[in-house]
Amino acid sequence: ALSLPAPIFAALAPSSFLLAHLTQPQSSTKKRKRPSVRPNGRLATESRVPVINTNSLAHANGSAVVRLGDTAVVAGIKGELLYAKDIPNPPPSSKRLREVGGSAPPLDEDDEAKSLAELGLLVPNVELSTGSHPAHLPGTAPTALAQTLAERLLETLQETRLVSLDQLEIWGSRSTMARDEEEMDVDASEEQRDDDGDETGKESIMAYWAIYIDILFISLDGNAFDAAWGAVMAALKNTTLPHAWWDEEREMILCDADLERSRSLTLRGLPVSVSFGIFDSTAEPRMTNSTAGADAAEANLGSGRWLLTDLDDSEETACKESISAVVDGASGALQLRKLQKVGGGVADLAVMEEVLKLAEQRWKEWKRIL
Ligand SMILES: *[C@@H]1O[C@H](CO)[C@@H](O)[C@H](O)[C@H]1NC(C)=O
Ligand SMILES: *[C@@H]1O[C@H](CO)[C@@H](O)[C@H](O)[C@H]1NC(C)=O
Ligand SMILES: *[C@@H]1O[C@H](CO)[C@@H](O)[C@H](O)[C@H]1NC(C)=O
């Protein structure tokens, strides 16, 4: 028989390697069967404990390093001013949206999220550092992975409504002199200003805080999204923006250098991303035949199929079906904020129920650490 050292076997045939571990015959003398163990030593639904350090970057307004085993990621937050006059057709402000809602208005979160997205005030960017992963060599173009992650982060930020618009708006009123000048200069734009309900004399939005979220993977060993989202959450929770106001005379925004007067970002809820993989050994060509009989008995989904949590890099290669849930239990009952399922056809309702049960446990774990 052909026999290979374990690392070579793992690299050549990750699926067979994973299967060989999951179905490894346990000591037969024991009456109680031990559950199957993955090559990384974890049980099928055992996740790596996240480790978080906040405020690690001195020149960011908020930052965090998150480690999930050998996946390590840094997120740095920087607030930058975006002047309202540089935005051609600004969407309705949070105040305006509140007014439209009536006298006792619950702020319409959908419209507010639309304004926030249109303004593009949340800007995630992802980079993989050289050497973070064997496939990521120096000098290669930005990977599809980095772009996909950045898009998913933006979607998740928008769909969870994590950051409210009102705290990013900086209001002020123009001085009478500047207003007169402007009225003489540009009639057309003044007309439009009236349309927006920001009549002269009243307060209007002078600028916005744009929140740049820079994410750098130091090393990558699977489950990149959960780690990146954890880092974003931890960094945003750690973010303070300086006190900023509109100075009528100088016609510009001024920021207070006094950190005492800065305020932290308020986040809605505590969404956490929990990702899973389904390993379907029956869909794989076999390299080993020693374990055929054990599959059915050991698999946590039956018939040679496993639901695995927090995949590492080689498991991601072996699992063709993945599920990623963004859940939030901050308001009491667990809420499913976003669900993504890619590939395969094993996950049915029963599997999804299991996924949500495990996601709730995992949410509690992240909550404790965040
Ligand atoms: C935070 O952001 C402001 C504006 O971008 C900047 O002036 C300030 O130095 C930043 N840093 C810290 C540590 O607050
Ligand atoms: C950010 O993290 C640092 C260090 O852990 C902490 O001292 C600081 O209070 C945090 N800031 C916020 C707004 O949570
Ligand atoms: C696996 O091994 C058994 C004997 O142990 C044999 O009967 C069977 O045909 C083998 N299956 C495959 C797919 O090679």
Q: What is the DSSP letter of 284?
A: S
Instruction: Report the alpha-carbon distance of residue 311 to residue 300 in Å, rounded.
Output: 16
What residue ranges define each of the domains in the chain, with the CATH number in brackets? 51-268 (3.30.230.70), 270-370 (3.30.230.70)
Which atom of ligand 3 approaches the CA of 289 most closely? 1
Q: What is the pLDDT along the chain (370 residues), one digit of tens a residue?
A: 567 788 888 888 888 888 888 887 655 555 555 677 899 999 999 999 999 999 989 889 999 999 999 999 999 999 999 999 999 888 888 877 776 555 545 567 788 899 999 999 999 999 988 778 877 666 666 678 899 999 999 999 999 999 999 999 999 988 665 555 555 554 444 444 444 444 456 788 999 999 999 999 999 999 999 999 999 999 999 999 999 999 988 999 999 988 889 999 999 999 999 999 999 988 766 655 555 545 445 678 887 899 999 999 999 999 999 999 999 999 999 999 999 999 988 899 999 999 999 999 999 999 999 9
* Amino acid making up residue 289: N
Tokens at 296, concatenated = 């059915």
Which atom of ligand 2 approaches the CA of 265 most closely? 13
Ligand 1 within 6 A of CB of 242: yes
- Best of 56, 57, 61 to mutate for ligand 1, by most ligand atoms within 8 A of CB? 61
CA of 312 to the centre of ligand 1 (A): 36
CA of 13 to the centre of ligand 3 (A): 19
| Pair type for strands 204-219 and 122-128 | parallel
Residue 166: name the closest of 102, 55, 231, 241 by CA: 241
CA of 296 to the centre of ligand 3 (A): 16
CA of 111 to the centre of ligand 1 (A): 29
49-67 per-residue burial string, b: 16 or more CB within 10 A, e: under 16 = ebebebeebeebbbbbbbb
Instruction: Report the alpha-carbon distance of residue 330 to residue 106 in Å, rounded.
Output: 20
Structure-token match 């005379």, residue found: 249
Ligand 3 within 6 A of CB of 51: no
Tokens at 33, concatenated = 């069967």
Instruction: Report the alpha-carbon distance of residue 90 to residue 26 in Å, rounded.
Output: 65
CA of 238 to the centre of ligand 2 (A): 5
SS3 82: strand
Phi/psi zone of residue 21: left (φ > 0), alpha (ψ -120 to 50 degrees), beta?
A: alpha
pTM surpassing 0.75? Answer: yes
Ligand 3 within 6 A of CB of 292: yes
